[in-house]
Amino acid sequence: MDARYDLAGRKAIVTGGAGGLGRGIAAGLRDAGATVELWDSDRVKLEAAAAELGVAARQVDITNAAAVDAAAAAAFTTHGRVDILVNNAGILGEVKPIWQTDPRNFEAVLRVNLFGTYLVSRALLGSMRMQNPRAAIGGHPLRGHVVNIASIQGKEGMALAAAYSASKAGVIALTKSTAKETARDGIVVTAITPAAAETAMAKEISAERRVDILSRIPMGRFVEVDEVARMVLWLASDECSFSTGGIFDLSGGRATY
């Protein structure tokens, strides 16, 4: 993938970095010049991803507040600052009607997708907003960017995916709230709402479910990982300086708002 933005000198963290989407985003940031650190709870997959990409890694359970706080402190000690945070970690959960779902599974999806995004944002934003600005645009400082990976399902909901849809809707609302809180501090917070991508998560669904999802996408295909990474690059760059709170569609025409 061609790097279209100059992120030289930027320090980036990508959660869910051991997965296919996390790897693709990390590769894009690395190729644009950023120093990237992957966060994931799966040590084996994390080490493999870090070795493949030639970037740093930190094993973190993002549902554990103490672990996230410790990882955030260590990241600032190691890098001195964090310019880019990509909250990408997520799990799919059960594909069942709500009356057949296991409450423990529903809670687990919310804990990773929404609560985990909250914990990581909480742990890093307090220090990000106090670090020296890298630029000033319109007389206002620009200290960093947060990009949350939500989902088109968070906008429209989807049958048999109540937990996943609800968690991603929560990420959208969390994005807007956080953006309002950090706007004057020079932290730009945005989210992407992609359709399904060809990742390990997509392989968890049945062939019938896959056909159903594809039928909802006017372009008739899943989003490519590189397409997600390219949008993250813009949202993580100083070119994105006045779109805080924005929710960016990447659904092949599926979105209706």
Q: Residues with catalytic annotation?
A: 164
Cβ(165)–Cβ(218) below 8 Å: no
Amino acid identity of 235? Answer: L
Q: Which residues contact 165 (CB under 8 A, 6 or more apart)?
A: 151, 153, 154, 156, 157, 158
Tokens of 51: 């070795």
Longest dimension (CA), the chain: 54
Phi, psi of 146 (to 5 degrees): -120, 130
CB atoms within 10 A of CB 131: 19
Please list, in sequence order, all residues whose beta carbon lies within 8 angstroms of the beta carbon of residue 67, skipping any fewer than 6 positions away. Answer: 60, 61
Note whether 245 and 179 are within 8 A (CB): yes
Distance CA 40, CA 29 (A): 17
Q: What are phi and psi of 55, to 5 degrees?
A: -125, 175
